[in-house]
A and B are shown apart, each in its own frame.
Chain A
């Protein structure tokens, strides 16, 4: 498994544990006490490191190739899933998927960005970067959910909407813009979760929820830290500075009122324990759907509108009209 420089102490302890285990097996001694103490130590070190991650280190965790993706969560938390395909206009975007799903007996619509696990898979999934067709398929499914009174779960995990020739020719900007407007009209509960990368307009394009949640080691940003560094700091290598400056991590997003809740991850990140990550994820989304279930369609629309209407920081000097 890919590990990062900042995880060195964890990696070293894991190596020690493996070596001791191997040695104990070879010479047939009972090292369980020492092993347990090393495991405890590993846990403490892991927690310490992950509690103090810098924003850019969290970006790296959010991009970890073993991090659970949309289909992983669907497989782990849904009793049933019927994938639905296509935008009815051009194609079926494999980078943004969706369908009907059941979670604990609750029937819902799930839509989410989908990354690939290996190179071949990533080519199919376009590294989780959707084309206009993806956003149009998502809107088709949102409208279907509205029509048949199904709550919506939208999972955000994209570096951004795809910047390509065809994407521009087929109206990438329009596809996203229409979603931003039309998601306001949905009369069922919408819960959005940033499960990895929340890359700009490509994330927001399925991100108009009554509740927007974020996983502990995810980020949500107007531009990638590398992109911001290249433009504002004139040096792409200063991505860590850009990540700091843009306040892209869960803690700040909660503080700014952009997200309503943070979903905790297993110690050392969701990629280290998919099952536990899925369990923590499910607990939170069920709670939020539960809270929203009492609201009428008009209340849902209006509270969603107000959530976004109030965002903004500016000064205003009063003058008599």
Chain B
């Protein structure tokens, strides 16, 4: 939550212009090269922030994604005004991101496996969770229960959206409650954590995956580094709250680079759904070649 302003300045979105300097290694990269390489730095492999649509294209079989609840837009229950009024902020971010909210949900196929998929988009108000994110994710889980599908949610979020205050906070409870029902139905939930996933998003659905996967070097935390530093008045350890740090501390199952993500998730789903693995991989490899 409180991370947001810092992340806005520091986030690894790709700046405008043809040539950019890698934020991680300093290499000068042609932006077209970066876009063609799944937004990975060709030199150091640094993972730049992906939009929701880019990730859907990466993970779902071509033309298989069917969006749901795409006409859901945020309200303004508190008539919230900070430096701008909340509706004004919504309009700006909608224009900037091309999305009507911070999550895109629907059904799709992943290497021919039908799934329910939700992908958060950091460029819409820092991927914060308000009523729309909470409702769309809850309905996605309900769709999965209804159609007996596994759920995959890719998170990128500054936490709960302050402009929706307590109503935003309650989305943590709502989404987690839906996952209680998914658990009762014994359907798989894969949680994919991307840079950055913080605050109330981490402290609700994002931490409840049967399997939790993170992209390399992603910042993943409950409390942000700045808040912790202020509280304990100490320097933080090197690499604190990165995906690799979380793996070492037993918080997540694996760190997987973007190009291997689809195959890794497919394989795990094959185990949960008792599908043969080779067949999926053959189809995948033929797809990659073509």
Contacts and interface: CB of A to CB of B under 8 A. Distances in A.
Given A234-B83, A308-B177, A201 B200 contact: yes
Contacts of B63: none
Interface stretch (B16-24, B29-37, B113-121, B226-234): B226-234
B61 to A, nearest CB: 22
Interface string A216-239: 000011110001101111100000
B205 interface: yes
B207 A246 contact: no
A178 interface: yes
B172 A253 contact: no
Contact of B162 (A171, A207, A222, A317): A222
B8 to A, nearest CB: 10
Contact of A177 (B162, B165, B169, B205): B205
A203 to B, nearest CB: 8
B187 interface: no
A83 interface: no
Interface residues of A, number: 57
B81 A316 contact: no
A210 to B, nearest CB: 13
Interface stretch (A31-39, A157-165, A266-274): A157-165
Contacts, number: 203
A123 B177 CA distance: 34
A248 B72 contact: no
Nearest to A169: B249
B196 interface: no
A2 interface: no
A149 to B, nearest CB: 20
A167 B223 contact: yes
A168 B240 contact: yes
Contact of A308 (B80, B132, B174, B206): B174
B162 A228 contact: yes
Contact of B2 (A177, A180, A205, A227): A227
B240 A180 contact: no
Interface stretch (A46-54, A65-73, A98-106, A181-189): A181-189
A227 B222 CA distance: 15
Nearest to B237: A165
Size category, B interface: 35 or more
A13 B86 CA distance: 44
Interface string B59-94: 000000000010111111110111100000000000
B177 A305 contact: yes
Contacts of A221: 165-166, 169
A164 B176 contact: no
Contacts of A278: none
A177 B180 contact: no
A312 B167 contact: yes
B1 interface: yes
B280 interface: no
Given A231-B5, A311-B167, A312-B132, 7 more contacts: A163-B227, A163-B231, A165-B240, A201-B203, A232-B163, A314-B74, A315-B73
30 contacts: A163-B231, A168-B221, A171-B251, A173-B206, A177-B172, A177-B203, A184-B176, A201-B199, A204-B173, A205-B203, A221-B169, A222-B168, A231-B162, A233-B83, A246-B165, A246-B166, A247-B165, A248-B166, A256-B166, A258-B167, A308-B173, A309-B177, A311-B170, A312-B131, A312-B132, A312-B167, A312-B174, A313-B131, A314-B72, A314-B135
Interface of B: 1-2, 4-5, 69, 71-78, 80-83, 131-132, 134-135, 138, 160, 162-174, 176-181, 183, 199-200, 202-208, 221-224, 227-228, 231-232, 234, 236-237, 240-241, 249-251
